[in-house]
Chain A
Amino acid sequence: APAFAEKFGLGRTALPEEIAAWDLDISPDGTGLPVGSGNAFDGEELFADYCAICHGDFAEGVDNWPKLAGGMDTLDHEDPLKTVGSYWPFLSTTFDYVRRSMPFGNAQTLTDDEVYAIVAYILYSNDLVDDDFELSNENFLEVEMPNAGGFIVDDRLTSEAHFVREPCMADCKEGTPEVVMRAMVLDVTPEETKARKVQELMDATKPD
């Protein structure tokens, strides 16, 4: 066992109630899941009340707000749609995140049963369960997430090992490098171009 420095005697022991209030995280193996349940049918109503204004009635997303459903098999496409159904590897994350941080602007207001119901509805909206599906702490780990196997641990040190090298200093390219893409063509930079023009105008006409 490693040798540890002596203690300073600072802080005080955390009480069980305090730990219970703050330690809400849930791990992929279900550690941390509260006892409870909720079905997709009830979840649809809760979703309509608390979530649909941003995420859409069918979890398909409104405007720029996150889409929670759809996008199956698009991850290798030019513009992948990454949702709970198409991308998220673990259902634990959905429960954990919804319970702790949603609805946006009014987080930590849902009961555990409500969260189970909403998560069941999100699964339903991704065509992963039927509309009468009831999710509980008992059957939670039985749900199969389509992209559970879709992640690899950072492999840059091997797959990008060729970036450790002796850099080229002269004649590094054949021919003369040419401009092939320009930000000015897109012209989506906000304020800045305008801001600089305004600043130049001010500089030129600032008697007072």
Chain B
Amino acid sequence: MYKILKAEELADKIFLMDVEAPRVARHCEPGQFVIVKMDEKGERIPLTICDYDREKGTITIVFQIVGASTEKMADLKEGDYFRDFTGPLGCASEFVHEDIETLKNKKMLFVAGGVGAAPVYPQVKWLHEHGIDADVIVGSKTKDLLILEDEMKAVAGNLYVCTDDGSYGHSGMVTSMVEKLVKEEGKKYDVCVAIGPMIMMKFTCLMTKELGIPTIVSMNPIMVDGTGMCGACRLHVGDEIKFACVDGPEFDGHLVNFDEAMKRQMMYKTQEGRAMLKLQEGNTHHGGCGNCGGDN
């Protein structure tokens, strides 16, 4: 059993929790994820690691209500327990293994969409702790749904906030911000890391391809075990089939087949919708991972 030490609602339907998981906290690196299972009858849900404290032995997760399971998870309070909490899973971000001096000469841009700010945060924080200040674009549908702004500001070089409806920061999508920075402000980036809903990563990749910036994305397909034993999370990267849970979750965004990945993410749409309706009347939702902002 894994104790919840802190539980708070960051924004409407977006929750943050600190969970006691010493083995995960001791070994995790930016870019990795965990799989949580709430209770006996629950499903296994992948969530990216938002932060970690090796000394306290805690992991911070952030999730958004997107289906029946995350809806139930949101009811957990401080002092409650997750039955299962497995990780760290997946590969660490590539830069973790790079030479720091080489890294210092690289200009990095992070693009976070919605709850994607959570997995972007530990990467930017890690770089900051190693003396590297990366630029960060955070996109949100509206001002109310923006999360981790202060935390991000504390570790980023330049932070650019965009909202779809213009209620805060720049008005428009993250892609237009990328374009503006490069084309209008003359910024040069050696690498871009984009994390968020698949549709947002897809369009960011189309933009960075045009701008000639190599781009890494963190894929969030349906997963079951998260250890490479089933292939539920498989996707096409170039001509190859990769399992996101063990080969990724980060891949070269210009090689990922997003259209196929988005279709696969919808596989259980009706079942999830039914499960959600069982819990509460209202909107049905898309399939997926529990941490993206919604693709529709």
Q: Do A and B bind each other?
A: no
- Residues on A lying within 8 angstroms of B by beta carbon are none
